[in-house]
């Protein structure tokens, strides 16, 4: 039987064993089937197939929806949005949506992102002011890096989007928010400088003019002189104002105040101070009115209500006048006259003098 089997060319096949020809044909058929179907596989499906082959199992469960984001399959909106960074969820500027947006729709999306970013800037700056360990931050710190982490966006990308909508980079938005309160800081800084140099109500002798009413020129000259002093450093002063350098300070002020420069903003403050000093000069005039050289006026106004401009300001805007007086002060010897409503009555000596003057005038009329 063995010889017949070999001679006839028939190979005996045992149970469970495949021939070489059959295995080749099966491989060829499987390849043809795969080519005929031409089913594209994603990276996730390939990795799943490898894991199943390694484990010896074949699972028919569908892949997780999150794994199919970016493929051609239709995904639920909730599953797709759950994988997006915060800035894309806020604005809606997803890669799929950007290509179909109109210009107005894109501006609307950018506006939503900008408002959210500006709100976060204000929150982080307020937290910084309340932080008991804020001294660990230098004058170079800004909240942009913290907000970028929170939004899940790169700093350069955030600046590109804010600049597309408003023309401002991300750090310039921070400077704008910081400069919104700069006028109050300038008000306090200039008030401190002028209060040390001027006694409100006193006549101020200037080298170019007898300063009675030209207070704007006097205050500007005084400010320039103080900033030319050796101890003044503009870089250190800008840091006290809350900015890392003067260029960012100037641009932040212009952005926050409609194009007004820092010098123009200081001009507004100086105009208010000059108005107060002019009004305070009327209190000084009250003091001079008590002297002998204004005797006729003194006799006439003794005990009568004041009608000068200081008295008018006390009636029309008492709150503003009190606030300015607290900032810039008042000369010590004029404090009592600044709160008086009526002119002081004649003293005993003044009454005796008035009697003598009246008697002499009566005798002169008789003669």
The mean-pLDDT minimum among 92-106, 221-235, 274-288 falls in: 274-288
Is 173 within the bounds of a domain?
yes
Highest mean pLDDT (candidates 50-64, 165-179, 294-308): 165-179
Is residue 334 domain-shared with residue 193, that is, in the same domain? yes
Question: What is the reported pLDDT for 68?
Answer: 42
Domain that holds residue 167: 95-177
Is 357 within the bounds of a domain?
no
Is 163 within the bounds of a domain?
yes
Is 141 within the bounds of a domain?
yes
- 295 versus 267: the higher-pLDDT residue is 267
Q: Count structural domains, the chain.
A: 2
pLDDT band at 2 (very low <50, low <70, confident <90, very high): very low
**Which helix H or strand E contains 211, and what residues bound it?**
strand 210-211
Is residue 333 domain-shared with residue 223, that is, in the same domain? yes
**Using an 8 Å Cβ cutoff, are 259 and 286 in contact?**
no
pLDDT at 317 over 70: yes
Closest by CA to 159, choosing from 117, 201, 119, is 117
| Rounded CA separation 214/288 (Å) | 20
pLDDT at 161 over 70: yes
Last residue of a domain, one of 132, 156, 177: 177
**Using an 8 Å Cβ cutoff, are 140 and 244 in contact?**
yes
The mean-pLDDT minimum among 71-80, 130-139, 146-155, 242-251 falls in: 71-80
| Per-residue pLDDT tens digits for 138-155 | 999 999 999 999 999 999
Question: What is the reported pLDDT for 363?
Answer: 80
Is residue 195 domain-shared with residue 120, that is, in the same domain? no
pLDDT band at 205 (very low <50, low <70, confident <90, very high): low
HSE-CB at 243 with a 13 A cutoff on CA atoms is 27
Question: What is the reported pLDDT for 83?
Answer: 84
Question: What is the reported pLDDT for 9?
Answer: 44
Is residue 172 domain-shared with residue 149, that is, in the same domain? yes
Is residue 194 domain-shared with residue 136, that is, in the same domain? no
- 62 versus 204: the higher-pLDDT residue is 204
Is 135 within the bounds of a domain?
yes
Is residue 246 domain-shared with residue 195, that is, in the same domain? yes
The mean-pLDDT minimum among 8-17, 276-285, 344-353 falls in: 8-17
Is 221 within the bounds of a domain?
yes
Question: What is the reported pLDDT for 345?
Answer: 73
Is residue 172 domain-shared with residue 189, that is, in the same domain? no
Question: Mean pLDDT score of the chain, rounded to an integer?
Answer: 79
Share of the chain above pLDDT 90, in %: 51
Is residue 107 domain-shared with residue 253, that is, in the same domain? no
Task: Calculate Rg over the CA atoms of the chain.
Answer: 43
3 state SS of 347:
coil
Is 17 within the bounds of a domain?
no
Environment class of 217 (CB within 10 Å of its CB; exposed 0-12, middle 13-18, buried 19+): middle
Mean pLDDT of 211-222: 82
| Rounded CA separation 343/360 (Å) | 26
Is residue 124 domain-shared with residue 172, that is, in the same domain? yes
Last residue of a domain, one of 128, 151, 177: 177
Is residue 194 domain-shared with residue 170, that is, in the same domain? no
Is residue 330 domain-shared with residue 221, that is, in the same domain? yes
Is 2 within the bounds of a domain?
no
pLDDT band at 69 (very low <50, low <70, confident <90, very high): very low
pLDDT at 67 over 90: no
Instruction: Please report, for residues 41, 84, 229, the alpha-carbon distance to residue 157 in angstroms, rounded to integers and kept in the order given.
Output: 32, 15, 44
Is residue 144 domain-shared with residue 261, that is, in the same domain? no
Q: What angle do CA 308, 323, 223 make, to 5 degrees?
A: 90
Mean pLDDT of 200-211: 63
Question: What is the reported pLDDT for 305?
Answer: 81
Closest by CA to 73, choosing from 63, 88, 61, 84, is 63
Last residue of a domain, one of 177, 198, 220: 177
Question: What is the reported pLDDT for 362?
Answer: 79
Closest by CA to 91, choosing from 194, 21, 161, 19, is 161
């Amino acid at each position: 039987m063995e010889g017949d089997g070999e001679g006839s060319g028939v190979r005996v096949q045992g149970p469970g064993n495949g021939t070489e020809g059959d295995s080749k044909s099966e491989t060829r058929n499987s390849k043809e089937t795969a080519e005929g179907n031409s089913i594209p596989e994603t990276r996730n499906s390939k990795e799943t197939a490898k894991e199943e082959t390694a484990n010896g199992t074949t699972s028919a469960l569908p892949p997780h929806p999150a794994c199919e984001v970016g493929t051609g399959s239709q995904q639920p909106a909730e599953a797709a949005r759950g994988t997006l960074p915060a800035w894309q969820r806020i604005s809606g500027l997803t890669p799929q949506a950007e290509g179909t947006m109109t210009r107005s729709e894109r501006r609307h999306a950018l506006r939503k992102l900008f408002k959210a970013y500006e709100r976060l800037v204000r929150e982080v700056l307020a937290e910084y002011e309340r932080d008991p360990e804020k001294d660990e931050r230098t004058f170079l710190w800004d909240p942009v890096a913290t907000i970028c982490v929170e939004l899940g966006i790169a700093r350069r990308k955030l600046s590109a989007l804010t600049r597309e909508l408003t023309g401002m980079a991300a750090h310039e938005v921070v400077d704008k928010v910081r400069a919104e309160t700069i006028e109050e800081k300038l008000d306090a800084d200039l008030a401190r400088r002028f209060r040390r140099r001027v006694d409100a109500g006193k006549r101020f002798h200037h080298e170019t003019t007898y300063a009675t009413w030209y207070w704007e020129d006097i205050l500007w000259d005084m400010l320039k002189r103080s900033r030319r002093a050796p101890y003044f450093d503009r870089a250190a002063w800008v840091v006290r104002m809350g900015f890392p350098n003067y260029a960012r300070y100037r641009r932040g002020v212009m952005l926050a105040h409609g194009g007004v420069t820092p010098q123009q903003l200081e001009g507004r403050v100086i105009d208010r101070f000059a108005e107060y000093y002019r009004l305070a000069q009327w209190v000084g005039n009250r003091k001079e009115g008590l002297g002998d050289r204004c005797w006729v006026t003194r006799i006439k106004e003794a005990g009568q209500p004041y009608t000068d401009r200081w008295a008018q300001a006390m009636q029309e805007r008492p709150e503003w006048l009190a606030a300015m007086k607290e900032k810039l002060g008042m000369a010590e010897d004029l404090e009592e006259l600044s709160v008086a409503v009526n002119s002081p009555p004649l003293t005993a000596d003044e009454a005796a003098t008035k009697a003598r003057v009246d008697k002499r005038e009566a005798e002169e009329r008789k003669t």
